[in-house]
A and B are shown apart, each in its own frame.
Chain A
Amino acid sequence: MTGVTTLSQAEKAAPSESSFLRQAMSRFLANTPAVIGALLLLAFVAAGLLAPWIAPYGPNEGGLGDALLPPSVDHLLGTDKQGRDQLSLILYGGRTSLLLAISSVTVALLAGGVLGAVASAFRGTVDAVIMRLVDVWLAIPGMLLALAIVALLGTGLVQITIAVAVTNVPVFARLFRTSLAEVSRSEYIEATRSVGASEMRIFMRHTLPNAVSPLIVAALLAMASAVVQVAGLGFLGLGPADRLVPEWGTMLTNASSYMRVAPLLTVVPCAAIVITAISFNLVGDGLQEAFDPQSAR
């Protein structure tokens, strides 16, 4: 014993990162609903990626002669008012819906994360101004905000991504600020500082990895609401501007006029949206319990 503990020894004394992740992983795998959710999501992502190969028809194939057909061997889920195969539309539509949800949450996560980190790094006036802005931002009803932004920017894929992202930014900003503050107050950060780690090293190796897990959970829960929001915009007629790009919400727009003759046109896209949203929620809840077992009980 030399009496001097080196930095890497001190860091090794704490339970290592990988064993935490491994434990979290095994807790997640023990959570049946979360695993089911994850499998369903994988299935939807795979279906979206493989759509050109597994879909029985192209997304825009079909003529008015095939309009509103009931389910049959040729069209497992029937056809819509333009004669397009409903199953193929769902498979192709999933690409758009999932892509929009994932990209908008990613944008929101990055923007909100930066905002939260800036607020927590600068304290004082900057912090106060950002947090006040976040409060106001959260007070604006999300769907109306998204509607207004789409009305302003237009209905391209990028514009829809921005609109849905904007409604989620304040959530991540507030969460990341709180979680950074909590972690940087904890004793192991103090301990790392006392053995002489630089502020940069503390932030990159300890504060950031530990503060990020609530953000990952929140991102999955936000995906659930983003899927719903994107579909909601589509339902209100503000889906992708290109009518040839199928999207689950847009599929519902005129469905209610055909409810009597073709209820499946309503039920099938609804089911796809709900299953995806629930799966994201289940995986998010599962990850939360895996990262923080205390929260579950």
Chain B
Amino acid sequence: MQGSDTVQTMSKGVPRKRRTPLWLTGDLLSFVLKRVLQIIPSLMILSVLMFAFIRMVPGDPARLILGPTATAAQIEALRGQLGLDLPIWQQYLNYLANIASGDFGTSYVSNTPVAAEFFSRFPATLELSIVALILSVVVGVPLGRWSARRANTITDYSITASSVFLHSLPTFVVGLLLQLCFGVWLRWLPVDGRIGPRYRLPEVTNFATVDALLSLNLSAFGSALTHLLLPSITLACVSAGLIIRITRSSVIASRRAPHVRTARGKGLSRSRLNSRHIQLNALPPIVTVIALQIGTMLSGAAITETIFSWDGVGSWVVLSIASHDYPVVQSTILIFAVIFLLVNLVADVINAVLNPRLALE
């Protein structure tokens, strides 16, 4: 099928028979459905793990919430209220029902719902991660392609070497060294917070850059951007290194594929060979590795946000761990893992559209 397709592209006189797009055949739909169904057992396992985590925490949650001054009667009353005296399976079902209704428990420290605080902080983390992801893709993919085009030359070796270097750089090392260079020595860029202290932004989206634009405050927007720069570069480094490596090896592998040799043998033009056969077939591993970077970003957020005093979920988790605020830790892990699973689902669907054979396998 693939072969006859190529032949018709080559002989100019014959009209090219177009392949029915994947989304019209129903194959994509059944693939997406299958993938969505696959995620359900994953979510079940995740919920059991997270439920087990909160159960393993040493100490009585009711006592932790009420503090050391509470009387035995108060603790007993709260235990009843929290359902801690029910059988374990019933507690698990309650836990599931609570999560389904958006109740992620109450912080031991602030005594406020975890969900509310999580979602007020999440935009900061998301803003940072999105900018970092864009940076790592914009730097990583072209460098990887360039390296592949110049395979086994000095250019290739230096790009590969820098990708190993970038990938080995711990987030906190990049963060601290950038702070040292640009914040302490050169004093070019701010090293903490999301925006200069003199700006007061309306809390519309909680994305500092978007809110600044919405309030038409250009100098606030500039301040938000400069505050974003160092943390997002910090977060992008590790991912950029990996994206360079995967892009390079994927492009090289796809250039070696038998069908590419055939097409080249038939005299297909270089640019068409490159765009239709090499780059397109090289994409799936690149899409997958970019999706995996979401996990790296959310993981790296804890350290990056702590270094740059960024008021997001990551620094909040680190603080919560120090104060043994387990509901916060557990809910964040749960939500981050769900995000990761969903992003991977989307990546698989994108790959199925790019390369229908992946969906049919």
Contacts and interface: CB of A to CB of B under 8 A. Distances in A.
B170 A139 contact: no
Interface residues of A, number: 43
Contact of B170 (A140, A228, A259): A228
A256 B176 contact: yes
Contacts of B184: 259-260, 263
A236 B41 contact: no
A281 B303 contact: no
B333 A148 contact: yes
B302 A147 contact: yes
Interface stretch (B15-23, B61-69, B314-322): B314-322
A56 B317 CA distance: 39
Nearest to A249: B172
B303 A236 contact: yes
Contacts of A140: 46, 333, 336-337, 340
B321 A151 contact: yes
A151 B329 contact: yes
Nearest to A270: B173
Interface string A127-159: 000001101101111111101101110000000
Among A138, A139, A256, chain B packs the most CB atoms within 10 A around the CB of: A139
B341 A147 contact: no
Interface in A255-289: 255-256, 259-260, 263, 266-267, 270, 273-274, 277-278, 281-282, 285
The majority secondary structure among interface residues of chain A is helix
Given A139-B341, A236-B303, A278-B164, A144 B177 contact: no
B56 A152 contact: yes
A43 to B, nearest CB: 17
B361 to A, nearest CB: 16
Contacts of A62: none
The majority secondary structure among interface residues of chain B is helix
A137 B167 CA distance: 22
Nearest to B313: A144
A252 B177 CA distance: 11
A231 interface: yes
Q: What class of interface size applies to chain B in its complex with A?
A: 35 or more
Interface string B281-311: 0000000000000011011101100110000
Interface string B49-70: 1000100111000000000000
B42 A141 contact: no
A221 B303 CA distance: 21
Contacts of A237: 322
B170 A277 contact: yes
Given A132-B45, A141-B299, A231 B172 contact: yes
A249 to B, nearest CB: 8
Given A237-B322, A278-B168, A136 B45 contact: yes
B147 interface: no
A232 B341 contact: no
Contacts of A236: 302-303, 306, 318
A150 B326 CA distance: 12
A109 B158 CA distance: 32
A232 B171 contact: yes
Interface of A: 33, 132-133, 135-136, 138-145, 147-148, 150-152, 224, 228, 231-232, 235-238, 249, 252, 255-256, 259-260, 263, 266-267, 270, 273-274, 277-278, 281-282, 285
26 contacts: A132-B45, A139-B338, A139-B340, A141-B295, A141-B298, A142-B295, A143-B300, A143-B302, A144-B329, A144-B332, A145-B333, A147-B302, A147-B318, A147-B329, A228-B170, A231-B170, A232-B172, A236-B306, A256-B179, A259-B184, A270-B173, A273-B173, A274-B170, A277-B169, A278-B164, A278-B165
Given A144-B299, A152-B57, 20 more contacts: A136-B337, A139-B337, A140-B333, A143-B302, A144-B298, A144-B333, A144-B336, A147-B317, A148-B329, A148-B330, A148-B333, A232-B303, A236-B302, A236-B306, A236-B318, A259-B179, A274-B169, A274-B173, A277-B169, A281-B164
